[in-house]
Structure 1
Amino acid sequence: MDKNTFTGLFLIMIVLAGSFYFFKPSEAELKQERERIALDSAKKAGTVTTPAAAAAQTAVPSLDSATLKGPFGANISGTEATSVLENNELRLTFSNKGGKIKSVELKNEKSYQGKPVVLFDGDKNEFGLTLVIGGKQVNTNDLYFTPVLTERSMAMRANYSPDKFIEFVYDLQPESHNVGFNINLNGMNQVIQRDSIALNWSTVLLQQEKSLKNEQQYSAPYYKYVDKNPDHLSIAKDETEDLSKSKIEWIAFKQHFFSAVLIPADPFAKAKLGVTVLTTPEQVKGYHANLSLPFNQLAAQNYKMKFYFGTNQFKVLKAQGQEIEKLVEMGYWPLKYINRFVVLPVFNFLEGFGWNYGLIILVLTIALKLVLSPLTYKSYISMAKMRILKPEMDEIKAKVGEDNATLLQQEYLKLYKQVGVNPLGGCLPMLLQLPIVMAFFFFFPNLFELRGQSFLWMHDLSTYDDFIKFGFTIPFIGDHLSLMCVLMTISTLIYTYFNNQVSGATGQMKYIGYIMPIVFLGVLNSYPSGLNYYYFLANMLTFGQQFLIKMLVNDEKIHNILKENKKKPEEQKKKSKFQTRLDDYMRQQQQAKTQQNKNK
């Protein structure tokens, strides 16, 4: 490189360095440019990246959307802030992002772990409209609303333009689980396209009870068509269902003992409802609902609704109307009628005395056993008759032999007819009592009143008492052993033993009675201790009833009555329906036998 070339390059470097120094932007200019870039990014992504962007958003809340390059331009970015509205029952936390209820706390309830009962919370709770404006979808969950809080209400507004806006108004009355909810689309009929808009609601239910598995078993989204009974989606698997058969009166996100219900003043036109069973700890299930609202582009639109946030207590839900009380499962027909019109009224009556719920269950069981005592007495007498006849039946069996089953059965039926005994007399009274036993299988697990109520060693009658914790899982049993379930099983075995003594059961029938209680030990081990407590009491009271009947009934006297019946002429015997059918059966058998002999 020669001297002239070097000198030229040196001068060029000096000129460039001077240009960078004298013409660089000031700090104010740099800050302004950074704010512009951040604001543009926030508008495109729907999020806020810098404080400057938030300041720019709040500085222009009422400018026309066209000036800010799109609908709701002034509401796309912002800083999330929360507000609280509460009464004696509920604590509602609102978020200006989406203008929604962010979380709901039931102030007078606690979870099994002693924490506040929060039905839903956080970003996984979405609630808002999906609108079509200018051929594009606008989701209100992405908008930042302006809140206006008063003593009993919260208004959230997102401005499309100075005279066009979306407004969500929430109203909370004192001493109430209901939250009024109005959607006002002021002037939006001029810009919203299509003849319907979508209201989307999705949330994740949080664990409140001792067993997540049991809580999932009783949780499902419910819905009610107009003039139809409420129904629900699957409780065991993921499911999505289109609800288009009729208009929909309400949608409920139900978990075991608590529910969030959305009730429109005018039924929803149609909906899509879904449930997802979650595997995340402390999360019960995920629910989502897509609800269709009719939209008239010729007039301003307002939609009135209300929320119910509260317990699944039957009488509380019934006060809401519209058959919302059917969120409480009472069983299948006819069990639900037994529970609703017999068991529940008696339970509520006893509850009025202010007793401990363990005592209420005891008195309820005694009352039902007294009502059913005539059936128990008939069952005992019938089984005693069969036991007394057993020696004669053994003689017939030895005479006829076991090879000819048809002839043996005919001889047995002839004996029953002679002494006036119905062999099914011991079974029928027990079958009539079976619906009561099964009704309680649905009643106690769904009874909110037992939640958190203790009795003896049982800390909560609405869930199992894990008296023994294994620390590992045993197939068919689980990770614990319920003491009340064990006592129920032992009492059933004792009852089976004495029942076999009364009926004279032998062979396989004798041992089947001992197998079933062991099976139910595994089935009921994770069921509420209140249910096992009832079955234990029922067994012990039934055993007591049979003991008293045995003291009052003389087997020798029954035997003499059977002998006298045997001596009576056929025409003097008063025939029961069973005996009439028995005569017809024997006549048919005799005719068939005669026909067979003729054919030979």
Structure 2
Amino acid sequence: MLNTKLKQLFATAMFLIMTMFIGEQASAATGSTGGSDNFFQHYVVGPFSELIKGIAGFFHGNYGLSIIFVTIIVRVLVFPLFANQYKKQRAMQEKMALVKPELDAIQSKLKKTKDPVKQREIQQEMMQLYQKHNINPLAMGCLPMLIQFPILIGFYYAIRSTPEIASHSFLWFNLGHSDIIVSLCAGFMYFIQFYVSQKLNAQNAQTNPAAQQSAKIMGFFFPVMMTIFSINVPAALPLYWLTSGLLLTIQSVVLHQVYQKNKKAIQPAESATK
């Protein structure tokens, strides 16, 4: 559902805010406690930092390639969560499409009545409809994204806390300084991600114009916010976001193709059993 896409974008936005602001307090605390006493720094940020250094050594000290490679590793690690979330989304989309005529009728009755008692009765009718078709509107929250946060935040601060990155140049830019071109590319990449998700969910979007409009607003707002964040941080971070956004877009397309292929394979089998 498009509402789920909005939740994903919102969760990612919260990740950026958490890492940019809340996490700064953790970094300050780490500096005051000597580093090793901080659990998150020692067991999450530290290993990521060593991984970046180790892979950079494999690439003859190229920290740009190291960040790209570690980003691929991170996306592969969280892919099972992403795939499971996608599968649940599509199942929920199909159920919601099935009950949409009944749900629209119930919502129409709810809008027409002002009586609190009748409103509760209609809401109860809506819940019974959900129960009948085994639909849980709250099941498609941001939990998978929240589970990914420790990994993603750890990687974020590993980049920031690795001194070697600050003085390293990659392609045309310095990883330790902000770069407008990389920042714009990172923001544009997340616009592409939104555009692709809209295309992949075009059929479902037609069933909910209001959600479609909200998704468009968020889809344009988020890349702008990403660009602003990127301009104000070292270029190593938008390089990470750019790579991560590209991989996430590819994963979405692959999962969509696999889902459509499996769906086409299942439909003839279901028809044959009828």
TM-score of the alignment, normalized to the shorter chain, above 0.5: yes
User: Aligned with 1:528: secondary structure?
Assistant: coil
User: Aligned with 1:527: secondary structure?
Assistant: coil
**Which one of the candidate residues 440, 443, 465 is aligned to 2:158?**
443
Given that residues 347 and 360 in structure 1 are in contact (C-alpha distance below 8 angstroms), is that contact kept between their aligned partners in structure 2? Answer: yes
Is the counterpart of residue 539 in structure 1 residue 245 in structure 2?
yes
RMSD between aligned residues: 3.5
Given that residues 386 and 423 in structure 1 are in contact (C-alpha distance below 8 angstroms), is that contact kept between their aligned partners in structure 2? Answer: no
The number of aligned residues is: 224
In 2, distance between residues paired with 1:558 and 1:230?
A: 53
Residue 514 of structure 1: how far off its partner (Å): 2.7
Larger RCO (CA within 8 A; separation ≥ 6)? 2
Identity of aligned residues (%): 21
Alignment of 1:276-355 (within 5 A): 324-325=34-35, 337-341=43-47, 343-353=48-58, 354-355=60-61
User: Relative to total residues, which structure has the larger helix share, 1 or 2?
Assistant: 2
Given that residues 95 and 135 in structure 2 are in contact (C-alpha distance below 8 angstroms), is that contact kept between their aligned partners in structure 1? Answer: no
Matched AA of 1:532: P
Is the counterpart of residue 456 in structure 1 residue 171 in structure 2?
yes
Residue 418 of structure 1: how far off its partner (Å): 2.8
User: Aligned with 1:553: secondary structure?
Assistant: helix
Q: What residue is the counterpart of 1:418 in the other structure? A: 133
C-alpha distance after superposition, 1:41-88 (max 9, x if no partner) = xxxxxxxxxxxxxxxxxxxxxxxxxxxxxxxxxxxxxxxxxxxxxxxx
Alignment of 1:543-582 (within 5 A): 543-554=249-260, 557=263
User: Relative to total residues, which structure has the larger strand share, 1 or 2?
Assistant: 1
Unaligned stretches of 5+ residues in structure 1:
1-217, 223-228, 233-322, 466-481, 565-600
Change (3 A) 1:462 1:425: same
**Which one of the candidate residues 81, 86, 89 is aligned to 1:383?**
89
Is the counterpart of residue 515 in structure 1 residue 209 in structure 2?
no
Given that residues 463 and 526 in structure 1 are in contact (C-alpha distance below 8 angstroms), is that contact kept between their aligned partners in structure 2? Answer: no
User: Aligned with 2:245: secondary structure?
Assistant: helix
In the superposition, the TM-score normalised over structure 1's length comes to 0.33
Residue 347 of structure 1: how far off its partner (Å): 1.9
Q: What residue is the counterpart of 1:524 in the other structure? A: 230
Given that residues 464 and 527 in structure 1 are in contact (C-alpha distance below 8 angstroms), is that contact kept between their aligned partners in structure 2? Answer: yes
In the superposition, the TM-score normalised over structure 2's length comes to 0.67
Is the counterpart of residue 493 in structure 1 residue 191 in structure 2?
yes
Residue 424 of structure 1: how far off its partner (Å): 2.8
Residue 537 of structure 1: how far off its partner (Å): 0.3
Q: What residue is the counterpart of 2:13 in the other structure? A: none
In 1, distance between residues paired with 2:247 and 2:171?
A: 19
Given that residues 382 and 421 in structure 1 are in contact (C-alpha distance below 8 angstroms), is that contact kept between their aligned partners in structure 2? Answer: no
Change (3 A) 1:509 1:547: closer
Is the counterpart of residue 367 in structure 1 residue 68 in structure 2?
no
Residue 402 of structure 1: how far off its partner (Å): 4.3
In 2, distance between residues paired with 1:338 and 1:413?
A: 45
In 2, distance between residues paired with 1:558 and 1:425?
A: 25
In 2, distance between residues paired with 1:360 and 1:413?
A: 53
Matched AA of 1:374: P
In 2, distance between residues paired with 1:400 and 1:560?
A: 32
Matched AA of 2:52: F
In 2, distance between residues paired with 1:559 and 1:510?
A: 33
Given that residues 377 and 549 in structure 1 are in contact (C-alpha distance below 8 angstroms), is that contact kept between their aligned partners in structure 2? Answer: yes
